[in-house]
Amino acid sequence: MPGLFGLVSVRQGAFLSKSHAQKAITSMAKALSHRDDYILETTIADREGFAIARLSHSAFRGFPWPKEQDIQASRSNVFLCGVFTNDHVRILNEERLNALPHSAPGILKELQGNFSLVLIHRNSHSVILAVDRKGSEPIFYCEHDGILYFAPEVKALLTTFGGQIKMNPEAVPILLSCGHLLGDQTLVSSMTRLPGGQMVQICDGEIERKSYWAFRPGEGPYENTEIELREELIRLLKESARKNMQDPPKTIIFLSGGLDSRGILAGALIASGNQGQTLNTVSYGLAEDIVGSDAFIAKRIAERFQLRHTFFQRKAENYAEAFEETNFLTDGLSDIAAFHPYELTILKCIKERGFDRVLRGDETFGWHGNVYSLQEAEAEVGLRSIRGISLYSKMLRPQYFREWSEAGDVAMAHLESEANGMEPTDAKDYLYFTHRLQGYLHSSASYKQVLFDHRNVLLDDSILEFLLRVPSKFRLHKVLYRNAVSAMYPSLKDIPLAVCSGLEDWDSELKKESALRKYMQKQIEDQNSGVWEYFDMNAVAGVFNSLSSFPRSSSSSSLRVRVRKKISSHIFSLFPRQAMAIRTTRFQSAMMPSQALLRFLVFKHWHDTFLSPHGNS
């Protein structure tokens, strides 16, 4: 995908081998070039100890690349990728750059936008690698033999890394139990993701990761009324939509039947002067006529506001090809490829229609309701150790279930230390932003970034800073955001929210004759895979075969389930503390066989694709 990549000598005053630098840049560029129309710009300053390159979309080249004479003439060099929404030239002035590394946190905290950057001050041999507050332009990095390598995809690092490639024992159980990795994890033990709001500093021969900003909701100060906060949020939403739209004919808004995309649409309608016919929107699902689904409601919204709307059907065919291509692009960082394999095909269709930018609705306005302990906060966000999941105790070999349970516990303990001292509801929203949004949703964004200039309107820096001042009672169930959207564009309230996704039922797909079932069976019968060192083939096959013994749900049984859930929900609403405690306890062990099998599929494909060719595990 587009982004910054390269290598930097860690040792003060050390040169790089020019041939090694050129070879590394070439191999990383090849691994990252998923399209033929990317623009590649490189700077190899071997005597200064660095080689840095940038891949850009042809339609969105971005900032000027430093010229060779500028590199030689200046003590400070700046390499940028992405977009800034404030005056970055003023902030990145020569005087402040000359004060590196001490000035770096202040510089980065002032910058706003979606970016990654490298700052170099040669006299002090100070190097700063950084990403924006939400890590929207990813950087992964590793060190070997005194050289720091970095790139926007793990696979690019694997092409150049000279050390032994080992699986990360803390990350694998997190992937299997949670469906995504934690904020800084990769599946390779020596490689790290740079989380949002953080930087890597190289100085005096040392590498150090530091935080320059953190999303700590609830830190205050609380000086505004609910009405004042709502009006401020409306202003911020309008401004973010306006500056991210820029060129409506070339921009797509992903439109669902939910609340998040309505905030973006409301801002876009206002920015367009209520000219809905100038706005392009997209929805997808199994069918557009599933009553109450995202696509069904999106169609109603599009008709009501005369949007230029397109529906794309997700088809449960060609699963193997679609899954493998997506999982390759995402480096197995989450289970997104297993559950949403056809999105990439849809995105390619959108690209072929001439669109260059997509607006997406990831947000952090508040994740669900109240929690009363840190453990409940983790459960509500979907974070847990593999230890309590009985399905994996059967599927994994005893040695690895034991070792991965211990390693997963260590990862969870580190996560808990981050949120130590926070109020439970604040901790919940912190964990959501830091680990679920950046670990799961950003992996979904990565294959969009392969094709488009990708923007998250609801994660604008001004909105993130604003949310630090919003009390938890206004973040519960996104109440402040909900009220702001209703007040900003009241007629959107006339159309109800979706009540179902209208997407695939993967449990049913695994139980019946389907492309997924055939592919799963083929993978389980693959005796040459190195994954059987960790998983018991017979046990995995047993879980898979047991699915066919479960009857597919009929309409009457589905009705009974819905009625039962409604009754349980009503009872739980009367006793919220007890209900949350019960849900948390259940969550530690509950997992559907289809969910465990699909996550196994993600891990197996990643292992066979990236780890086995290196002869490592």
What pLDDT, on a 0 to 100 scale, did the predictor assign at position 561? 62
CA-CA distance, 211 to 522, in Å (whole number)? 45
Mean pLDDT for 42-59 is: 93
pLDDT band for position 558 (cuts 50, 70, 90): low
CA-CA distance, 140 to 161, in Å (whole number)? 12
pLDDT band for position 396 (cuts 50, 70, 90): very high
Q: Per CATH, which fold does 226-365+448-494 belong to?
A: Rossmann fold (3.40.50)
The dihedral built from the CA positions of residue 431, 460, 277 and 344, taken in this order, carries a sign that is: negative
Evaluate if residue 535 carries a pLDDT over 60.
yes
Evaluate if residue 78 carries a pLDDT over 50.
yes
Evaluate if residue 573 carries a pLDDT over 80.
no
Evaluate if residue 294 carries a pLDDT over 60.
yes
How many CB atoms lie under 10 A from the CB of residue 556? 8
CA-CA distance, 185 to 194, in Å (whole number)? 9
pTM for the whole structure = 0.94
What pLDDT, on a 0 to 100 scale, did the predictor assign at position 219? 84
Evaluate if residue 560 carries a pLDDT over 70.
no
How many CB atoms lie under 10 A from the CB of residue 27? 14
Closest-CA residue to 62 (of 76, 41, 44):
41
Do the beta carbons of residue 344 and residue 326 sit within 8 Å? yes
Evaluate if residue 551 carries a pLDDT over 60.
no
pLDDT band for position 204 (cuts 50, 70, 90): confident
What pLDDT, on a 0 to 100 scale, did the predictor assign at position 36? 94
Query: Residue 577, CB half-sphere, CA atoms under 13 Å: how many?
Result: 3
Evaluate if residue 136 carries a pLDDT over 80.
yes
Which amino acid belongs to residue 124? Answer: S
Do the beta carbons of residue 76 and residue 107 sit within 8 Å? no
Minimum mean pLDDT among 33-37, 194-198, 327-331, 560-564: which range? 560-564
Which amino acid belongs to residue 33? Answer: S
Closest-CA residue to 250 (of 352, 357, 178):
357
Tens-digit pLDDT profile for residues 82-93: 999 999 999 999
Tens-digit pLDDT profile for residues 420-474: 999 999 999 999 999 999 999 889 899 999 999 999 999 999 999 999 999 999 9
Tell me if residue 394 falls in helix, strand or coil. helix
What pLDDT, on a 0 to 100 scale, did the predictor assign at position 563? 67
pLDDT, mean over the chain: 93
* Residue 290 main-chain phi, psi, to 5 deg: -80, 110
Evaluate if residue 316 carries a pLDDT over 90.
no
CA-CA distance, 301 to 99, in Å (whole number)? 52
Minimum mean pLDDT among 67-81, 114-128, 547-561: which range? 547-561
Structure tokens given for 514: 């389907």
Evaluate if residue 565 carries a pLDDT over 90.
no
How many CB atoms lie under 10 A from the CB of residue 443? 22
What pLDDT, on a 0 to 100 scale, did the predictor assign at position 555? 46
Locate the domains of the chain by residue range: 3-211, 226-365+448-494, 374-404+505-614
CA-CA distance, 504 to 431, in Å (whole number)? 28
Percent of the chain at pLDDT above 90?
83
Mean pLDDT for 535-552 is: 86
Q: Per CATH, which fold does 3-211 belong to?
A: Glutamine Phosphoribosylpyrophosphate, subunit 1, domain 1 (3.60.20)
